[in-house]
């Protein structure tokens, strides 16, 4: 087997530094944390009087002493930077304190403290939760310090700390000839990416990020650190849920072990057409993707070419992506749309895999935004594309050029090789993710923002007759109707079973967390 170089020392230092191998907290620690007293749990179903039994609150000073990492409090250096989320909509949701966790023991201390204090909390890796579920007025548990990456030359597997970002992984893998399927936004964290499934430009070729997962470590609601959670063994159901069941539902993950795949040269492309033949071009691009699902990965969209009110004769077409073959073969595949209309931009270049990743990198979305998503099986037809353009023409627009109003991400190919119930990611029979977005800036008055959000709701509703009643949990929306079924479909019942086993007191709770029971 190839002797892979060690990139970094894996940052799961806490238990090892203490010489601990047990995966459970002691009986004394469980009692101190309130973990054995159901009434002390956040969201407990025990009546209030019973909930008062147990040890008294200890306060933030006690938590700070328990951490190997740092507890950042309001007014301290770095607090506002550490609290800031990717979506500025939630920037005014400031935490009680931010626990920068350096290992599993820090996470355990945070969970135990939150239970004892009966305090709300949220878990953050990259802070990219679009709906603000990685923000809180309680304790913010931040795992970013756990960002180490280590190869095991015996197995060929790589263990990645829960705080690693897409950029961390790119930096670590660049010289190895290997990769784990991942996203293209540099600051997105591996934890949320994996737990929600994990779309990226390699998905059609190599599967989702969660499809490469082979094991994970996680702290559950009772303060237990479970090591080596895998497809077999006592925690097999938790491993199943970790592949698409969404972040923040069952545990705080501290590391992920993946089986990487080899990488080779690829062809990247960025092609922009003027505002003509939009429907035909969007149909052409979908046909190319559907007919070559493992060879190409596209992100195609309708995009305004000028600021201001959207007009059909000012809506261009763009496709961006990756082709797993030489440029000449790609040009042949693109012959129909390239012949139909002369593009204003036609970049087609062969690159090594990591240079291609740098070419495709993006920080979208950013600033202030709202988003919806749906899944598409097969082709989104001409009537649907016409509806998209009619809805775009009604957009209030505001001060920001709306570049992401209608995007089709390729989501089939290798992703469809796994059955919908084999992992918690249920959307295996789809070919595209349709993303609909509106964004604004501080220049926009509150009334304009409300108009944009109302427009997005109407746009999403207008598209429902063309799409599946499913949405991507990593593109969450607080205004999504029937969100539980939309995110998880036929896997809802099993996810609720996992919830009851690992979090019976509903400690991991937020507005769209998996419930203990499936609603009637």
CA angle, 362 then 366 then 372, to 5°: 95
CA distance 487 to 272: 32
pTM for the whole structure? 0.89
DSSP state of 72: E
CB 170 within 8 A of CB 377: no
DSSP per position, 196-226? T----TTHHHH--GGGGEEEEEEEETTS-EE
Beta-strand relationship, 97-100 and 70-72: antiparallel
CB 437 within 8 A of CB 404: yes
Domains and CATH numbers, the chain: 64-145 (3.30.43.10), 149-262+493-502 (3.30.465.10), 265-483 (3.40.462.20)
Helix boundaries (H) for 202-311 = 203-206, 236-242, 278-291
The pLDDT of residue 54: 57
What is the Cα Rg of the chain in Å?
23
DSSP per position, 106-168? HHHHHHHHHHHHT--EEEESS---TTSTT--SSEEEE-TT---EEE-TTT--EEEETT-BHHH
| Nearest to 143, CA basis, from 127, 159, 157 | 127
The pLDDT of residue 306: 87
- With residues binned 3-state (H G I as helix, E B as strand, rest as coil), the percentages for the chain, rounded to 5, are 35, 20, 45
| Nearest to 99, CA basis, from 139, 133, 129 | 139
pLDDT tens for each residue of the chain, 520 residues long = 433 333 333 333 333 333 333 333 333 333 233 332 222 233 333 233 333 355 677 899 999 999 999 999 999 999 999 999 999 999 999 999 999 999 999 999 999 999 999 999 999 999 999 999 999 999 999 999 999 999 999 999 999 999 999 999 999 999 999 999 999 999 999 999 999 999 999 999 999 999 999 999 999 999 999 999 999 999 999 999 999 999 999 999 999 999 999 999 999 999 999 999 999 999 999 999 999 999 999 999 999 988 889 999 999 999 999 999 999 999 999 999 999 999 999 999 999 999 999 999 998 888 999 999 999 999 999 999 999 999 999 999 899 999 999 999 999 999 999 999 999 999 999 999 999 999 999 999 999 999 999 999 999 999 999 999 999 999 999 999 999 999 999 999 999 999 999 999 999 999 999 999 999 8
The pLDDT of residue 55: 67
- Look-up: residue for tokens 């570049």? 403
Beta-strand relationship, 225-229 and 345-351: unpaired
Q: Which of 68-84 are b and which e, b meaning 16 or more Cβ less than 10 Å from the residue's Cβ? A: bbbbbeeeeeebeebbe
What phi-psi label fits residue 248: left (phi over 0), alpha (psi between -120 and 50 degrees) or beta? left
| Nearest to 109, CA basis, from 65, 61, 66 | 66
């Amino acid at each position: 087997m190839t002797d892979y170089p060690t990139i970094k020392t894996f940052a799961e230092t806490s238990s090892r530094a203490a010489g601990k191998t047990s995966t459970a907290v002691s009986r004394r620690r469980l009692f101190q944390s309130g973990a054995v007293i159901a009434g002390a749990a956040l969201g407990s179903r025990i009546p209030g009087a019973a909930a008062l039994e147990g040890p008294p609150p200890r306060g933030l000073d006690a938590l700070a002493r328990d951490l190997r990492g740092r507890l950042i409090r309001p007014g301290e250096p770095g607090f506002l930077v550490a609290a800031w989320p990717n979506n500025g909509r939630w920037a005014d949701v400031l935490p009680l304190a931010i626990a920068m966790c350096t290992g599993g023991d820090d996470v355990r201390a945070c969970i135990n403290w939150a239970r004892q204090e009966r305090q709300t909390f949220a878990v953050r890796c990259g802070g990219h939760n679009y709906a603000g579920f990685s923000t809180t007025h309680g304790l913010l548990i931040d795992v970013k310090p756990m960002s180490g990456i280590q190869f095991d030359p015996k197995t060929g597997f790589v263990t990645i700390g829960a705080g690693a970002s897409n950029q961390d992984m790119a930096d670590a893998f660049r010289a190895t000839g290997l990769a784990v399927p991942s996203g293209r936004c540099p600051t997105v964290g591996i934890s949320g990416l994996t737990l929600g499934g994990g779309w990226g430009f390699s998905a059609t070729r190599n599967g989702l990020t969660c499809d490469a997962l082979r094991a994970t470590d996680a702290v559950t609601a009772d303060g237990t650190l479970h090591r080596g959670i895998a497809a077999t063994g006592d925690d097999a159901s938790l491993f199943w849920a970790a592949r698409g069941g969404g972040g923040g539902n069952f545990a705080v993950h501290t590391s992920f072990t993946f089986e990487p795949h080899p990488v080779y040269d690829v062809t990247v492309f960025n092609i922009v057409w003027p505002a003509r033949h939009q429907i035909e071009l969007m149909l052409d691009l979908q046909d190319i993707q559907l007919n070559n699902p493992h060879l190409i990965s596209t992100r195609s969209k309708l995009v305004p070419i000028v600021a201001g009110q959207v007009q059909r004769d000012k809506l261009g077409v763009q496709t961006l992506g990756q082709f797993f073959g030489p440029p000449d073969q790609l040009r042949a595949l693109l012959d129909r749309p390239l012949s139909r209309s002369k593009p204003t931009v036609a970049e087609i270049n062969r690159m090594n895999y990591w240079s291609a990743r740098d070419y495709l990198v993006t920080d979208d979305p950013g600033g202030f935004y709202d988003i919806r998503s749906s899944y598409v099986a097969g082709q989104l037809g001409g009537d649907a594309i016409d509806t998209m353009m009619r809805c775009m023409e009604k957009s209030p627009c505001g001060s920001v050029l709306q570049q992401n109003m209608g995007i089709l991400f390729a989501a089939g190919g290798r992703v469809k090789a796994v059955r919908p119930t084999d992992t918690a990611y249920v959307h295996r029979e789809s070919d595209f993710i349709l993303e609909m977005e509106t964004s604004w800036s501080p220049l926009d008055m509150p009334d304009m923002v409300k108009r944009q959000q109302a427009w997005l709701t109407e746009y999403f509703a207008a598209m429902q007759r063309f799409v599946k009643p499913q949405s991507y949990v990593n593109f969450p929306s607080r205004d999504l109707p029937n969100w539980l079924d939309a995110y998880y479909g036929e896997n809802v019942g099993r996810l609720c079973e996992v919830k009851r086993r690992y979090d019976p007191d509903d400690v991991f709770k937020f507005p769209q967390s998996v419930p203990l029971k499936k609603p009637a």
